[in-house]
Amino acid sequence: MTGAGLSTVLLFVKAPVRGQVKSRLASELGQDAALELYRGFVQDILATIDAGGYDCTVCVHPPDARDRVAEWLGRHRRCLPQRGNDLGTRMENAFHETFASGASQAILVGSDIPDLPGQVFFEAFSALHKNDAVIGPAADGGYYLVGFRKDTFRPEVFRDIAWSTGGVFSETMEHFNRAGARVHMLQQWQDVDTPDDLRSLQRRANGTSFERSRSMTVINRLCGTMK
């Protein structure tokens, strides 16, 4: 397994296990449909990362699912177990391990943003040349992307955060502000966690290249079951 590239995307994913992904979508669409959608989301964002030519490390949860994820996404992919008891610790450790492996800058994204454009990745890495960090606010009060250079990494932004609440972004920015960090803010984007988010994704995709994505193929087939 080779080390990280100089500029690395850390993609956080869960093992594709029925009943353990996209629970809020599963409550309306069923567990099989939610799993199929999740697989599409991950494959679509990976396709965008690959199209941009970015080095990518797939960060896997739970840690013992690395082989399962590698079999799913391809043995050529570098897979790193997520380590830690909460999301903040897992993200912090992913950056520590990536920078220790030789990366000079890294951005971390989740797998709930399948239609995130390649331009956002380009902007994020470009911004790190002149800023200490980069962050992408999510519509639900969290964030969908965060990144640092090795010499400006601030692990404290992952500590003492009320994860899975609408205050994650504002609390994180408070940490950055207290540290005096120069942070580039990306455009707001919407995670896809709920049936309403799914409908919003369907509207956003209308007339775009994402209409032909794996995710939209699944959504269009399922949309008749959505209320």
Q: What average pLDDT score do residues 103-123 get?
A: 97
CATH of the domain at 209: 3.90.550.10
User: What is d(CA 31, CA 182) in angstroms, rounded to the nearest whole number?
Assistant: 42
Residue from 38, 37, 34, 36 nearest 26 by CA: 34
According to the model, what pLDDT value does residue 221 have?
Answer: 87
Position 91 in a domain: yes
Q: Give the alpha-carbon dihedral of 22, 200, 133, 87, to 10 degrees.
A: -20
Is 1 inside any structural domain?
A: no
224 is a domain residue: no
In this prediction, residue 224 carries a pLDDT of 57
Domain residue limits at 211: 7-216
In a domain, 226, yes or no: no
* CA distances, 181 to each of 169, 207, 225 (Å): 15, 39, 47
Mean pLDDT of 210-223: 91
Q: Is residue 222 included in any domain, yes or no?
A: no
Which residues, 6+ apart, have CB-to-CB distance to 184 below 8 Å? 124, 127, 128, 130, 131, 133, 134, 135
Flag whether 127 is in a domain: yes
Query: Does some domain include residue 169?
Result: yes
225 sits in the region (left: phi over 0; alpha: psi -120 to 50; else beta) called alpha
- Other CB atoms within a 10 A radius of the CB of residue 170 amount to 12
- For residue 227, tell me if it sits in a domain: no
Copy the structure tokens of residue 190: 């919407």
pLDDT, tens only, 13-25:
999 999 999 999 9
- What's the total number of domains in the chain? 1
Q: Determine the average pLDDT of the residues in 55-76.
A: 96
Report yes or no: 212 and 40 within 8 Å, Cβ to Cβ.
no
